[in-house]
Chain A
Amino acid sequence: DVVMTQTPVSLSVTPGQPASISCKSSQSLVYSDGKTYLFWYLQKPGQPPQLLIYEVSRRLSGVPDRFSGSGSGTDFTLKISRVEAEDVGDYYCMQGERLPYTFGQGTKLEIK
């Protein structure tokens, strides 16, 4: 199985400041179609997860542009340019390149 390693485990950020989460996969996530199946989800307290980013860097419709994804191969990053109070929750990366899909352990974002 592909192991997804996320860091840090938790993050405490002042509103208006940036935040960054790293995700590393144990194998390349580039599929035979040339696309990279790396996803980012946010799970707000008491809610199911919501998809933010797909194919490493593509924002789902309606996701604020302060969220951005980058990376390639096995190293990926989610950045929030200016954290807002509503960004609180658990962030997960996930690989969808092969089954079983696997998630990172999660990063808890808190507001200072």
Chain B
Amino acid sequence: EVQLLDSGGGLVQPGGSLRLSCAASGFTFSTYWMSWVRQSPGKGLEWVAIIKEDGSEKYYADSVKGRFTISRDNGKNSLYLQMNSLRAEDTAVYYCARDHITTGTTRFDYWGQGTLVTVSS
């Protein structure tokens, strides 16, 4: 059974940092692109970042470029999101999501349960 377990959220002050983790199981993690998607309270969905299977390519939403870093450890079947210089508008539930294999046409067929990040003084 495919499972994605998000963790690492919490309350942080503006300007602070936080590292989110996503533990994957039930599939060959190293063959999938992976993404982070966030949802502000009561709002819609926003794609945040994506990383290639081997970590050699990474892309970001303009809203987080230069502040957030996506990474992965295929040996540990884990995905990470390092968030620096956090702002109030980064407050959201962050989901890791299985993106696609190179020849695949699905996107986000599995999601973590989400971890809440609150940026407030």
Contacts and interface: CB of A to CB of B under 8 A. Distances in A.
Interface of A: 35, 37, 39, 41, 43, 48-51, 54-55, 58, 60, 92, 94, 96, 99-106
B76 interface: no
A100 B114 CA distance: 20
A54 B44 contact: no
B44 A92 contact: yes
20 contacts: A39-B106, A39-B108, A48-B112, A49-B45, A49-B95, A49-B111, A54-B105, A55-B105, A58-B105, A92-B45, A94-B45, A94-B107, A94-B108, A99-B59, A101-B35, A101-B47, A101-B50, A103-B45, A103-B46, A105-B44
Contact of A100 (B47, B109, B112): B47
A39 B100 CA distance: 13
Most buried by B among A35, A50, A51: A51
Contacts of B95: 48-49
A104 B109 CA distance: 17
B108 to A, nearest CB: 6
A41 B95 CA distance: 14
Interface string B24-66: 0000000000010000000011110010000000010110000
A102 B47 contact: yes
A96 B111 contact: no
B105 A35 contact: yes
Most buried by B among A43, A96, A106: A96
